Structure 1
Amino acid sequence: MEIKELGHLVLYVRDIGRSVAFYRDVLGWRQVFPEATDAAGNPLRLPAAAFSSGRTHHELLLIEVGENATAVPAGRRLGMYHFGLKVGDTDDDLREALARLQAAGVTLVGASDHTVTHSLYILDPDGNEIELYIDVPGVDWKSDPALIAAPIRPLRL
C-alpha cells in the first residue's frame, strides 16, 4: 500500500452553526454540504457540514456533538496537534489572511517562519489549532529534504 494524499479531516464540534460560520465566513472555505438535497429535493438536515477547496468532494467534515462535549485538553497530549490549510502562494496572501482574521476578531496563537512555509496559527471555536500557511517561493525542499527540519524562526510579515 502507498498513501497518495491526505483525503479529508473530520472534527467533532459543539455547535455546527458557530463552526460553519467560522470555516465558511471567516476562513472562506466553500461549504458543499448541507447545501445538498435528498432525492425528493428536500434539504438534508443533519448536524454536520462539509467543506471543499475543489480538490476533492470534501476535505473537512464537521459533526455536531453538542455543548456538553469534553473540550480539547490543553498542553502536551496524544492526538492531533494542528492541521494546515494553504491560503495562498505569497506573503501578501498571508498578510491578507491575517487582516481577515484580525477583522473577525480571531486570536493569533503563533506565527512562524519554517523556511519551507510561512505560517500563522489560530484556534477554531472548539479549540482545534489550525496552521494557515504559504509555501515559500523558491525553496526546493525536494532537492534538500533537510530544509523541512530547519530551525523555526519568528515570522516577519
Structure 2
Amino acid sequence: MEVKELGHVVLYVRDIERSARFYRDVLGWRQILPAPGNAPGPRERRAAVFNAPSGRTHHELLLIEVGADAAGHPEGKRIGLYHFGLKIGTSDDELRAALAELTKSGTTILGASDHYATHSLYIADPDGNEIELYVDVPGIDWETPEAIGTPTKPLYL
C-alpha cells in the first residue's frame, strides 16, 4: 500500500452553525453541504462539509456536531491530534495579513513559530482544536537536515 496524500480531516464540534461560520467566514473554506444558510432537517445528521477554495478534491473537512455537553480537550500531555496545518501562502506578508484578519475576527491566537522551512501561526477554532496556518520559506532545500532538524524559534510578525 502507498498513501498518495492526506484526503480530509473530520472534527467533532459542539455547535455546527458556530463552527461552520468560523471555517467558512474566517478561514475562507468553501462550504459544500449543507449550502450556507440551509440548516439540516430535524432527522438529518448535523454536519457540514467543506473544501478549500482550490477545489483540489471533493472534500477536505467534515464537521460533525456532538452537542454542547461533549467533553472538552483534556489539559496537559495527551494522546491524539495536536493540530492540523493549512498552507496559506509563501510569504510572511501573507501571514501578517492573516494575523490581522484573525485578530479582527476575535480568533484565539496561540502563537507564532519559525520552523526554518516554514513560518507558522497557531490558532484555535471555537472548540479549541488547534490549527497551524503556515507559509513555506522560499529557497529551502527540503532534502537537507536543516530543513527538518532546526530547532523551532519564536516568529515575530
TM-score (norm 1): 0.90
Question: Are the counterparts in 1 of residues 123 and 132 from structure 2 also a CA contact under 8 Å?
Answer: yes
Tell me, what secondary structure is at the counterpart of 1:18? helix
Q: What corresponds to 2:31 in structure 1?
A: 31
Stretches of 4+ aligned residues off by more than 2 angstroms: 42-46
Question: Are the counterparts in 1 of residues 108 and 125 from structure 2 also a CA contact under 8 Å?
Answer: no
Query: Are residue 65 (structure 1) and residue 73 (structure 2) matched?
Result: no
Question: Are the counterparts in 1 of residues 120 and 134 from structure 2 also a CA contact under 8 Å?
Answer: yes
- Structure 1 residues 60-83: Cα deviation after superposition (integer angstroms, max 9, x where no partner): 100001001111112210000000
Question: Are the counterparts in 1 of residues 117 and 136 from structure 2 also a CA contact under 8 Å?
Answer: yes
- Aligned equivalents of 2:21 and 2:149: distance in 1? 35
- Aligned equivalents of 2:90 and 2:70: distance in 1? 37
1:149 Cα offset (Å):
2.2
Q: Which runs of 5+ in 1 are unaligned?
A: 37-41
What's the RMSD between the two structures over aligned residues? 1.7
Q: 1:60 to 1:145 in 2, by over 3 A?
A: farther
Task: Report 1:8-157 matches (<5 A).
Answer: 8-35=8-35, 45=41, 46-53=45-52, 54-141=55-142, 143-157=143-157
Q: Which amino acid aligns with 2:115?
A: H
Q: Which runs of 5+ in 2 are unaligned?
A: none
1:43 Cα offset (Å):
8.0
Question: Are the counterparts in 1 of residues 51 and 61 from structure 2 also a CA contact under 8 Å?
Answer: yes
Tell me, what secondary structure is at the counterpart of 2:22? helix
Tell me, what secondary structure is at the counterpart of 1:22? helix
Aligned residues: 151
Q: Which amino acid aligns with 1:84?
A: G
TM-score (norm 2): 0.90
- Aligned equivalents of 1:59 and 1:21: distance in 2? 16
1:55 Cα offset (Å):
1.0
